Amino acid sequence: MRVEGLYAIIDNSLRPSVSNTEIAEKILAGGAKILQLRGKGLSSKELLSQAREIRLLARKAGALFIVNDRADIALLSNADGVHLGQGDLPIAEARKILGKDRVIGISTHNLEQAIKAKYEGADYIGFGPVFGTTTKADAEEAKGLQALREVKKSVNIPVVAIGGINLENIKEVIDTRADCVAVISAIVKADDIKETTRRFQEAYKI
């Protein structure tokens, strides 16, 4: 499955009144074809349980399912892949766990990291934050659209733009020719998660 379009990240720490599984159901109903489960505050047991539930939902919807950070949880839940941070397992070590058929992506914050990730065997890179974001307490400074364009021109694997992307600025990001836009708070915090997801999907067709 291609890494393109909307890349929806599920994290109910932004909305504790709704479970990650419920968020996943609404996002999938809105037409998203890529989901990532982020469970920073969850125990390994909780994360595995939720990953298995969401994996089943994603499979029924024909969507790609990625687990954030944890290659072991990705393997045990039969996820389609893992998304790594700069401080997580090296790509080569994650590949030993997951094998050649699962997707491995990695967050990058500058051109050097992006090129390094490509040569180390990443299937895609995340780049950002493009705009300012409050979703992550340790987020880097905003990199901007021009930096995103430079990264896109310099690597021949899919580039997922992330950080502060919403319905007001998504067209600017799409115009950089980024393959994907990753969205967290603009979807998870939306009054209508399903409809908001659909609107992000529609932005790619305009």
Active site residues: 38, 107, 136
Residue 72 φ then ψ, to 5°? -65, -40
Q: List beta partners, residue 67.
A: 37, 82
Amino acid, single-letter form, for residue 190: A
**Three-state SS at 35:** strand
Q: How far apart are CA 48 and CA 95, in angstroms?
A: 19
Sign of CA dihedral 98, 100, 102, 103: positive
Q: How far apart are CA 125 and CA 91, in angstroms?
A: 11
Structure tokens at 105: 């992506």
Q: How far apart are CA 41 and CA 102, in angstroms?
A: 25
- Pick from 17, 28, 85, 91: which is nearest to 55 by CA? 28
Q: How far apart are CA 86 and CA 3, in angstroms?
A: 20
